[in-house]
Amino acid sequence: MRYGKFPDFYVQFCNPCAEEYTEFLRRHGKLYAIGENCSIWPNTVFGDPAYVRIGNNVHFSACTLIGHDGSIAMLDRAYNVKLDAVGKIDIRDNVFIGLNAIVLRNVTIGPNAIVAAGAVVTKDVAEGNIVAGVPARPIGRVEDLVKKLQAETQSLPWADLINNRKGSFDPEIEPQLLKLRVSHFYGNK
């Protein structure tokens, strides 16, 4: 099995979108809690789902959440000791966790935070922070990123389409956006 308690055939044959997979996890994933308007890609790994609490409007790229220290079995045997190293992962409202990020035990993220792609989160992420790196550390503030992206968006040739779309992805205008973007990036063929 690739996805913890979920059989390979689920992802292999069903190939769900993030919203469908989130609903599957809500019913069968055994996470402590999943809030509303969340998006979890099927290749997100929850090593210890029972210790994970997810707030509202949380979006996961393919990342990994590990609520335990896997060295315990080796240490028990090598040092003849009985140890426990398990902790919660608490993801508050309005959080994005990027591709290949790793979140370790005893971490709280957000609210209103972003974890960059490839980051390894070993400590709490403060409200409104953007973190990146190994180990993850603050590199900016979400409100500053919003202002920067708003200015960039308004300068795009397709800004009017973005301003009129329904949500962050609108299947009705996506083909037109794709064509405009490719033309802008590479010129007309």
Tokens encoding 37: 């308007």
Residue 41 located in a structural domain: yes
Helix and strand totals (H; E) in the chain: 6, 14
112: left (phi over 0), alpha (psi -120 to 50) or beta: left
Count of domains for the chain? 2
Tokens encoding 17: 């979108």
What is the model's pLDDT at position 98?
98
Nearest to 54 by CA among 23, 97, 27, 93: 93
Strands 137-141 and 129-132: antiparallel
Shared domain for 93 and 180, answered yes or no, is no
Residue 151 located in a structural domain: no
Strands 102-103 and 120-121: parallel
Shared domain for 84 and 113, answered yes or no, is yes
| Domain harbouring 99, CATH code | 2.160.10.10
**pTM of the full structure:** 0.86
Q: How far apart are CA 91 and CA 57, in angstroms?
A: 10
The whole domain housing 189 covers 156-189
Shared domain for 133 and 180, answered yes or no, is no
Of 6-10, 132-136, 162-166, minimum mean pLDDT range: 6-10
Shared domain for 187 and 162, answered yes or no, is yes
Residue 35 located in a structural domain: yes
Shared domain for 28 and 108, answered yes or no, is yes
Give tens-digit pLDDT for 41-81: 999 999 999 999 999 999 999 999 999 999 999 999 999 99
Nearest to 168 by CA among 148, 149, 140: 149
Give tens-digit pLDDT for 128-149: 999 999 999 999 999 999 999 9
Residue type, 25: L
- Residues, the chain: 189
Shared domain for 161 and 106, answered yes or no, is no
Residues 6+ apart with CB under 8 A from 105: 48, 51, 66, 67, 68, 69, 85, 86, 87, 88, 89
Residue 21 located in a structural domain: yes
Shared domain for 108 and 56, answered yes or no, is yes
